[in-house]
């Protein structure tokens, strides 16, 4: 099948996205074939028995405003619930190759398998996201960095998302990886509970994650275990709470500038 006939919006292995080496794949297939009694090895199949990851819910208005006093301008906003469904093979473009190479590398390492490390793969708007089991995040990140067929050498950012009440594991730690060798980008997401917001730190693997993880902890309260200095980076050291959590109040918090206080949105003056 030609690249332009594959999944729309997904970079091809031509001008839209560089293709990685195929020699490593061929070598692994030969080794697997000889070890399995000359049984041909097809592409990695997906068998994901768990429920899809929930990342959206229907919303009305904004900032929890109900009735009068809405100064946000979003009082009439209506947004349906949206969450990209788990992707199925073939993903299109270079996505299948990266999944197969990663699965083969993890099998060779013998620590975990791709199915255990990545419970769900999502392809949406031309981007691939792997939902990662947090206990396998360091092993997976090391494999993505070091394997010659993958070479995701650079962590370009770590951030957080709070999807709000009613969402299972509503807190997400999001890591953006970049392969400068093959011009590819990959997103890793770890889903966490508010009651247990712990995630392994990637600083020993990607030193650029240092201040990104500090900011994510500061804003969302995600505790990156193993981080060398998980301290405030934006808020004062003695600040109470994490301002980008959905449960954090949007007003009525005294600040240190001459006793100023911003009222909550539903108590501000309405403009009619």
Nearest to 159 by CA among 220, 204, 200, 202: 220
- pLDDT value, residue 46: 41
Mean pLDDT of the chain: 80
Instruction: Quick: pLDDT tens for 38-48.
Output: 333 343 444 44
Instruction: Quick: pLDDT tens for 84-101.
Output: 889 999 999 999 999 999
- pLDDT value, residue 31: 44
């Amino acid at each position: 099948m030609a690249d332009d006939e594959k999944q729309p919006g997904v970079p091809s292995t031509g001008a839209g996205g560089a293709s990685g080496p195929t020699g490593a794949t061929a070598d692994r297939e030969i080794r697997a074939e000889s070890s399995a009694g000359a049984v041909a090895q097809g592409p990695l199949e997906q068998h994901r028995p768990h429920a899809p990851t929930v990342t959206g819910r229907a919303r009305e208005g904004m900032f929890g405003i109900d009735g009068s006093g809405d100064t946000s301008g979003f009082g009439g906003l209506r947004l349906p619930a949206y969450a990209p469904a788990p992707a199925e093979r073939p993903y299109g473009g270079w996505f299948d190759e990266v999944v197969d190479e990663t699965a083969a590398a993890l099998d060779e390492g013998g620590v975990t398998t791709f199915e255990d490390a990545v419970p769900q793969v999502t392809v949406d708007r031309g981007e691939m996201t792997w939902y990662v089991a947090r206990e396998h995040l360091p092993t997976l990140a090391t494999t993505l960095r070091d394997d010659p067929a993958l070479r995701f050498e650079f962590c370009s950012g770590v951030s957080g998302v709070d999807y709000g009440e009613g969402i299972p594991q509503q807190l997400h730690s999001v890591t953006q990886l970049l392969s400068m060798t093959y011009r590819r980008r990959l997103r890793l997401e770890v889903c966490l509970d508010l009651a247990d917001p712990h995630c392994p730190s990637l600083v020993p693997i990607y030193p650029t994650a240092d201040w990104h993880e500090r900011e994510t902890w500061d804003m969302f309260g995600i505790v990156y275990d193993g981080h060398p200095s998980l301290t405030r980076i934006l808020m004062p050291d003695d600040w109470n709470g994490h301002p980008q959590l959905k449960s954090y109040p949007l007003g009525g918090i005294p600040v240190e500038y001459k006793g100023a206080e911003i009222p909550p949105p539903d108590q501000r003056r309405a403009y009619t």
